[in-house]
Chains A and B, each alone.
Chain A
């Protein structure tokens, strides 16, 4: 991948070239962190559900897209991005809250009607059901809203403050929007960490994921715990949907690739492990950003998938997971 020597421009000093390199690196790292924090939020949804039900929730990526669409609807309801009826901070807060609430309700419905009847069925059954739900959601969105892109147009909010304000490292300008996305994602992760580690329900979740039957015998309401996991995971998905849609326009079938990425992040970190999902998301985001920046955007998805397959083959438990032991 050696750069071709160019004859045209005047020779630059080593310092300026180095500075440009460093700037590119900082820029790419920032891109990666932004991408990665959203991936981490999505990965958490996969991990929460997998940890408890041992079910790959294929529909999760589409829940993210539904969240983005709910947020878009709320944005229109509040007057659009150019002249909203409320201040921008409240606007963003309301959009995210609606999307999170809507997705949480959707998650509960999916669990109740598509997965719960199949809880004692062979493992292939809920997987196929999940495929069906994913397909149903994606095409329902297309049915209702058409297949064109929906843009939040965050650039118009508050006269572009989200893009122009912010601070700089060297020559790299860090817009407010990126800071907002990263901070919001991390705040949500902290909340999740607190919920899982410091509350009684969190403890019940841990117990259920460790051994569902034993937990039920200890008086834990397993159904409630599972619903709670879906509520948490789907609410995070809603937030992730809004956060990513603020930067990149969304469209009905976006959920498929989003789901794959979030899922890859979960697997890299070790599916079922909460810190693993966070780390996996960031690793994936950074890897994608660097591949796009230094190699080629064309094959970057392919690189990600190949990495995933290699991880699946040589370390299926991921970076933070423990190997599965089959009990007879």
Chain B
């Protein structure tokens, strides 16, 4: 507690001192509230190298970063002509949009919305119904996209309307159940009083591609590759949404949301229309999600209920939390990081490389370049060779396997880690649970005991990664996401770029 008090008491003073020295003799701006101005300084600052870097980065205006990002995205076709890379870039932009939308609800409004992905689904389904043979309606995109965003806004408003009285956890539950209802409905919507609305699990097929002023954009090139035009459309949409939200955040409404998030009760007492603000945040988030849904539906050309499942919700949440709820730049970075991470984890070779790289970086980060680092690394490598040699002498088959993915690193790794040709049924659960137990124990230990435990933990981690996790990329991706979510929450609840103190009551 005392630490928190220190922060709260000293930071504003520091901030005030900085502000006064920086502004010098200039008179206070008209319409600028002193307390509000100081409030901006009450955000926790980081110290050390990261803090310096962050402060440096923050001096560059946001539009410069945005331009840089958009330029990079637009130049992707120059860097790579692989359809896969372009498609991943498109997916990343979709995730960035989703994260921006969720940030309105969670980061600015401070509302835990677990039905967020349903609005993405509603958008996709709405577009599919407005531009396909399902009902014989074929609206041009320039009409359909804003209309879908409006529908999303309306849907968010409707869901929020009864939930607005509910606070905190109750809102989370109602939205979660709304999500379930959406899934049940889309899955069973093939027979609503004899009419087929959603085609149930079969989904809506042959959704129109985007078309502007009579030009339609084919979703694939002549070679069957991803059509780059969709990336540009997505990037343009992202740019518009980002700027719009940035302006919204700086507006009266944005400030009101912030105060609502910090303390709803106080905000209400100050005469703010709390319910209305909550509804607005909720519906705006839904609207962005629905807008994103049109991109997805038009590119893929079909919508299925299972496209909008729980893992997607967790993925978007991880992006927002990792990047820092409340910071637009943060959630965009979070979206990029997680999206790339999920792609890397798909391929065993890349996944292995990333694992060893992160372990090394983590060790260097924890010990810096010290004697301890050398001890840990040396001991781990030695332990590996000894363990492998011992296992090899007992039974050849224990070390005869090669990890998946191939490549030079796979060869090195299987010279060091025990990779049996066939894993006995009990080994995977026992080592996996053991690894988790060891990692958790590490957080409680200190000094040399910690180092002593760290060495076998590292080796066990390599063993589990090579033998258990690389074999099954799909669950591994989500296990990693879950771990990131918990880890970020426990270690840095404000994420990479987020502001401290996000409160809901």
The chain B residue sitting closest to A306, CB to CB, is: B181
Interface size class, chain A: 35 or more
Pick from B110, B173, B185, B490: contact of A118, CB under 8 Å: B490
A326 pairs with B486, CB closer than 8 A: no
Pick from B173, B178, B181, B318: contact of A56, CB under 8 Å: B173
Pick from B169, B432, B482, B483: contact of A127, CB under 8 Å: B169
A133 pairs with B173, CB closer than 8 A: no
**CB-CB under 8 A for A135 and B184, given A125-B493, A129-B489:** no
Which residues of chain B have C-beta atoms less than 8 A from A129's C-beta? 485-486, 489-490
B432 pairs with A135, CB closer than 8 A: no
A118-136 to B contact mask, C-beta < 8 Å, 1/0: 1011111111110111111
A312 pairs with B173, CB closer than 8 A: yes
In the complex, B310 has a CB within 8 A of chain A: yes
The chain B residue sitting closest to A324, CB to CB, is: B167
In A80-132, which residues have CB < 8 Å from any B CB? 109, 112-114, 117-118, 120-129, 131-132
Which residues of chain B have C-beta atoms less than 8 A from A299's C-beta? 184, 188
A118 pairs with B489, CB closer than 8 A: yes
Pick from B162, B176, B188, B490: contact of A260, CB under 8 Å: B176
The chain A residue sitting closest to B476, CB to CB, is: A143
In the complex, A159 has a CB within 8 A of chain B: no
Pick from B166, B314, B490: contact of A117, CB under 8 Å: B490
Which residues of chain B have C-beta atoms less than 8 A from A156's C-beta? none
A312 pairs with B482, CB closer than 8 A: no
Rounded to whole Å, the gap between the CB of B251 and the closest CB of chain A is 24
The chain A residue sitting closest to B263, CB to CB, is: A328
B175-213 to A contact mask, C-beta < 8 Å, 1/0: 011101100110010000000000000000000000000
B502 pairs with A132, CB closer than 8 A: no
B181 pairs with A305, CB closer than 8 A: yes
A144 pairs with B429, CB closer than 8 A: yes
Task: Tell which of B165, B483, B489 has the most Cβ of chain A within 10 Å.
Answer: B489
Which residues of chain A have C-beta atoms less than 8 A from B114's C-beta? 131
In the complex, A202 has a CB within 8 A of chain B: no
For chain B, the count of residues having a C-beta within 8 Å of the partner chain is 57
Rounded to whole Å, the gap between the CB of A72 and the closest CB of chain B is 11
Which residues of chain A have C-beta atoms less than 8 A from B51's C-beta? none
A109 to B439, CA, bound (A): 12
A326 pairs with B166, CB closer than 8 A: no
**CB-CB under 8 A for A136 and B482, given A301-B184, A302-B184:** yes
A53-86 to B contact mask, C-beta < 8 Å, 1/0: 0111000000000000000010000000000000
A135 to B326, CA, bound (A): 23
Pick from B177, B265, B437, B479: contact of A139, CB under 8 Å: B479
A139 pairs with B478, CB closer than 8 A: yes
B482 pairs with A135, CB closer than 8 A: yes
B447-472 to A contact mask, C-beta < 8 Å, 1/0: 00000000000000000000011001
A56 to B167, CA, bound (A): 13
Main secondary structure of the interface of B (DSSP, over half): helix
A308 to B172, CA, bound (A): 13
Which residues of chain A have C-beta atoms less than 8 A from B110's C-beta? 124
Pick from A113, A118, A121, A128: contact of B443, CB under 8 Å: A113
A128 to B490, CA, bound (A): 10
A123 pairs with B428, CB closer than 8 A: no
B486 pairs with A123, CB closer than 8 A: no
In the complex, A290 has a CB within 8 A of chain B: no
Which residues of chain B have C-beta atoms less than 8 A from A302's C-beta? 181, 184-185, 188
A144 to B431, CA, bound (A): 10
A122 pairs with B317, CB closer than 8 A: no
In A269-328, which residues have CB < 8 Å from any B CB? 298-299, 301-302, 305-306, 308-309, 312-313, 316, 326, 328
The chain B residue sitting closest to A106, CB to CB, is: B433
A125 to B502, CA, bound (A): 8
Which residues of chain A have C-beta atoms less than 8 A from B503's C-beta? 122-124
The chain A residue sitting closest to B4, CB to CB, is: A120
B165 pairs with A313, CB closer than 8 A: yes
B172 pairs with A133, CB closer than 8 A: no
Instruction: Spell out B's residues near A (CB within 8 Å).
Output: 1, 106, 110, 112, 114, 162-163, 165-166, 168-170, 172-174, 176-178, 180-181, 184-185, 188, 265, 310-311, 314, 317-318, 321, 428-429, 432, 437, 440, 443, 468-469, 472, 475-476, 478-479, 481-486, 489-490, 493, 501-505
Closest 10 CB pairs of A and B: A132-B485, A136-B482, A135-B482, A132-B486, A143-B475, A139-B478, A129-B489, A142-B475, A122-B503, A139-B475
26 residue pairs A–B, Cβ–Cβ below 8 Å: A56-B172, A56-B173, A73-B429, A112-B440, A122-B501, A122-B503, A124-B106, A124-B110, A124-B112, A127-B112, A127-B169, A128-B321, A132-B314, A132-B481, A136-B486, A139-B476, A139-B478, A142-B478, A143-B468, A144-B432, A144-B468, A305-B180, A305-B181, A308-B177, A309-B178, A313-B165
